[in-house]
Amino acid sequence: MSETVLGILASGRGSNMQSILNNISSGRLHAKIGIVISDHANAKVLEIAAVAGIPAVCIERKNFATKQEFEAAIAAEIVNHEVQLVVLAGFMRILSGYFIGLFPGRIMNIHPSLLPAFPGLNAHSQALTYGAKVSGCTIHFVDEGVDTGPIIMQQAVEVLPDDTPDSLAERIIKVEHALYSKAIGLYCDQRLSIEGRNVKIIE
């Protein structure tokens, strides 16, 4: 079986991308990263890609007159590198219906809460403010809403009485790193089927 080509979109430090890369290197994930795209020139994820010898490019929104032109430039890189699955790894922009329509059922995202609870920004602060006793992370396919796409996998993490947003984030991201590669692996093995809002895992 040929390796599934991933396209990583990330805005920051790239910890999820590093974890995916580690799992590829160890043989736990049968895929390869074809391109890394960031919307910030100083994003650490670009340094990680450079060290690993992975093609990487910075595409900044400010260089384009419209959001669609910006997204078209990203899409062109994805197509040029023959990407099969677009992986959002801390990409801090909401993708439009135009972009999502180019890659239907082929864009995956990870969010640090148990969706549909606490979507959008500052999920850890939302959970603590609400008084939640359990949070966690969710991996889902991307649709036109904010963190509303069909859920692939979730894992719970207990919220401790003395948690801060940072301490909760630190525990959840460890779960994220393991779970994201599992979900990507299921996609690579053609074991995911989207049926309306439900994602079936094929045994």
78 and 140, same domain (yes or no)? no
Domain that holds residue 161: 109-203
Single residue among 103, 127, 145 that ends a domain in this structure: 103
158 and 96, same domain (yes or no)? no
Q: What is the pLDDT of residue 28?
A: 92
- % of residues, the chain, pLDDT over 70: 100
Measured CA to CA, the distance from residue 21 to residue 33 in angstroms comes to: 8
Q: What is the pLDDT of residue 85?
A: 98
Whether the per-residue pLDDT at 1 is higher than 90: the answer is no
pLDDT in tens, 48-88: 999 999 999 999 999 999 999 999 999 999 999 999 999 99
pLDDT, averaged across the chain: 96
79 and 174, same domain (yes or no)? no
pLDDT in tens, 103-130: 999 999 999 999 999 999 999 999 999 9
Single residue among 71, 103, 135 that ends a domain in this structure: 103
Active site residue 111: yes
151 and 201, same domain (yes or no)? yes
Q: What is the pLDDT of residue 2?
A: 82
Catalytic residue among 40, 111, 124, 140: 111
Residue 186's domain is classified under what CATH number?
3.40.50.170
Residue 144, token pair as written in the block: 């036109």
pLDDT confidence of 184, banded at 50, 70, 90? very high
Tell if the pTM clears 0.85, that is, is over it.
Answer: yes
Measured CA to CA, the distance from residue 49 to residue 36 in angstroms comes to: 7
119 and 202, same domain (yes or no)? yes
33 and 75, same domain (yes or no)? yes
Single residue among 53, 76, 103 that ends a domain in this structure: 103
141 and 184, same domain (yes or no)? yes
